[in-house]
Structure 1
Amino acid sequence: MPARDQLLHLAAGDLRLALAPAVGGSIAAFSRVWREGGHERVLHWLRPASDEGLAQRHPLAMASFPLVPFCNRIRNGRASFEGREIRFPPNHPAEDSPHALHGIGWQRAWTLQSGGPGEAVLTLEVEAGPAWPWHFAAQQTYRLQPHALEVVIAVTNRDSVAMPAGIGHHPYFLHEPGTRLTTTTRAMWETDDEVMPTGLAETDVVRQLRQGALLADLHTDNNFTGWSRTARIDWPADAQGPARRLVLQAEPPLDRFVLYCQRGYEFFCAEPVSQCTDWLNLAGQYPAEDLGGSRLAPGQTLEARWRLTPSWD
């Protein structure tokens, strides 16, 4: 069956959402569809998945994918937590890196538990193993409303002992000429050449983002702490559509923010997350409020909600 035929489609008002349960429970597209001058117009709020990415089930080619049971990287895939050892093998599909990346959920097929015109629930069950020695379950609820997309992501500890956990999402936005991003954070994690954190600082990037940064001026792949849990993206009028904007809002524990914005790329990532890169190995060196992350007792659930609200002239 062709990959696009495996997508789940939701609709509400002018907004459309396509989900790819088999590709990491990912969003394949989030768009506005309307008629103008007798013709159908389509405007993408997220970078749409490519046919090749869908056919290859490549999560890095999706519009957004879930981060569970941790976000970002763990140095060399090695960490300890309350007597259990994490031995996560390299899992970056595009680079030769020793650092465990983005958890497990993005590289597994999810199960469609329920679906309707404007809502879908996807689930995932993962047994304990050497990479992640805890049994856990995860769930995503996608709700499409006429003026917004709401996503709830949750992870539940199914194991007999406490488990560390982090959750988030990894949306890709289109970087059109003139795109601006405005958000407030307290500090940025500076990094080494392998994108691993080396320290916190109130950098020029932090100050630029507070004022509304022109993304063409930035070159980042960094975590931020003390996030306001709100970010606004502004695109000027162009061939894609009218002047438009999108507000990303998150609820606790999504108190940290990741910005991936590389010069010359046609996309950027603005990610709501609950813990910083390598938080387990940095514990004790930095305040818990800067690191984030959660401890889940057996049977306990960590849940987070985030929302994308687009508008246009």
Structure 2
Amino acid sequence: MADIEIANEALGLTVTTTGGAIWRFFSRSSGVETPLFREPPPGPGREALKSGCFPLVPFGNRVRSNRFSFEGLEYSLEPNMDWDRHYLHGDGWTGEWQIVSHTSTEIALAFSHCDRTPYAYDAEQRFSISGPTLTTTLSVTNRGEFALPFGLGWHPYFPLTHGTTLKAAARSCWDEDSSWLPTVEHPVAADIDFARPRGLPRRWLNTVFEGWNGGAEIDWPESGISLAIDADPIFSRYLVFVSDPAFDPGYDYDFFCFEPMSHSADGHNMASGGGLVRLAPGESLIGCIRYTCHRP
């Protein structure tokens, strides 16, 4: 396990090789650090679920019943968390990444996975800062023997204050069942229509939004800071997660997740593929997201 830091006059970033996670991401001004991703707990632990953000590779979210068929073959997945019966969010967030390079303004990490069927792959992340902008890049290469559907995403946690607003227009969203998997797609409406800046509901929300144009903005009026998000076209969906104290004892509506994704939850079992991309052996998929901090 190792922590790697980069910083400039506007931003600071700490990445950990454990889970390839962003441990801290913050704005810097006159010696004051303001968190842009959720602040992690103090201490030596580096659990991805306590981090500011972790990668989703070779795809994100869940697959119904841990089974899917692709090009005439049947595949099964094994759960990777003791508290969820699904294979969740891939393997990158549970593995140890290797440092490829580290300069004053850029970090590159690599991860290889071959010990769980059916996915065998190489992944790479790059984190670079320039002025007030952090650019994150994630790629995956199929190292298996067969073509398979791949996807990419990230799982950032953002501070949630009384005045926090989110703007991220979308075409539609999914209801979910008790397994946290999508059921019915319908137009966005009511308190989860983020076409205009809107506060996050203080209730359970675990919803995939479709038809995103890659632009979003989070505002924290208490500090006057906002964060503009600009994602490559591959990230045409996002998931918003707001937990609930009944599910997560101790949760105090102090963070929410806005997760850019290249595919729908359970896209493996959708006739359309849900945005997943077929990668033949040796083929790759790559996408970038830019986070720009605006201060008063």
Q: Work out whether the TM-score is over 0.5.
A: yes
Work out the percentage of aligned pairs sharing the same amino acid.
32
Residue 176 of structure 1 deviates from its aligned partner by 0.9
> CA separation in 2, counterparts of 1:90 and 1:158?
21
CA distance 1:210–1:119, change in 2 (3 Å): same
Question: Do residues 51 (structure 1) and 42 (structure 2) align?
Answer: yes
Q: Secondary structure at the match of 1:143?
A: strand
Deviation at 1:196, TM superposition (A): 0.8
Partner of 2:196: 211
Deviates more, 1:158-167 or 1:173-182: 158-167
Q: 1:78 and 2:67 equivalent?
A: yes
Larger helix proportion of the pair: 1
Matches of 2:115 and 2:291 in 1, distance apart? 33
Give the secondary structure class of the aligned counterpart of 2:80: coil
RMSD: 1.8
**Partner Cα separation in structure 1 for residue 77 and residue 167 of structure 2:** 35
1:142 aligned residue (103, 114, 127): 127
Count of residue correspondences:
289
Amino acid at match of 2:158: F
**Paired position in structure 2 for 1:253:** 234
1:112 to 89, 95, 99: 99
- How far apart are the structure 2 equivalents of 1:75 and 1:311? 40
Aligned equivalents of 1:100, 1:116: Cα separation in 2: 35
Contact residue 188 and residue 206 of structure 1 kept, 8 A: no
1:303 to 264, 269, 286: 286
Q: Does the alignment pair 1:294 with 2:277?
A: yes
- Write out per-residue CA displacement over residues 45-89 of structure 1, whole angstroms, 9 at most, x where no aligned residue: 00122235x52x311001000000011111232222234443322
SS in 2 for 1:76: helix
Structure 2: gaps spanning 5 or more residues: 245-251
1:177-230 deviation per Cα after TM superposition (whole angstroms, max 9, x unaligned) = 110001110000111122111010013258631122111456410111101111
Q: Distance in 1 between matches of 2:191 and 2:287?
A: 24
**For residues 103 and 61 of structure 1, what CA distance do their matches in structure 2 show?**
17
Amino acid of the residue matched to residue 25 of structure 1?
A: G
Q: Secondary structure at the match of 1:32?
A: strand
Q: Name the amino acid aligned to 1:99.
A: H
Task: Report the Cα offset of residue 128 of structure 1.
Answer: 5.0
Residue identity opposite 1:251 in structure 2: D
| Partner Cα separation in structure 2 for residue 148 and residue 253 of structure 1 | 20
TM-score by length of 1: 0.87
Instruction: Report the TM-score, using the length of structure 2 for normalisation.
Output: 0.92
2:81 to 83, 86, 92: 92
Q: Distance in 2 between matches of 1:217 and 1:183?
A: 18
Question: Which SS does the other structure have where 2:129 is aligned?
Answer: strand
Amino acid in structure 2 at the alignment position of 1:10: I
Letter of the 1:124 partner, please give it.
Answer: F
CA distance, structure 2, for counterparts of residue 254 and residue 163 of structure 1: 19
Change over 3 Å in CA distance of 1:147–1:125 after alignment to 2: same
Matched, 1:29 2:24: yes
Q: What secondary structure does 1:106 align onto?
A: helix
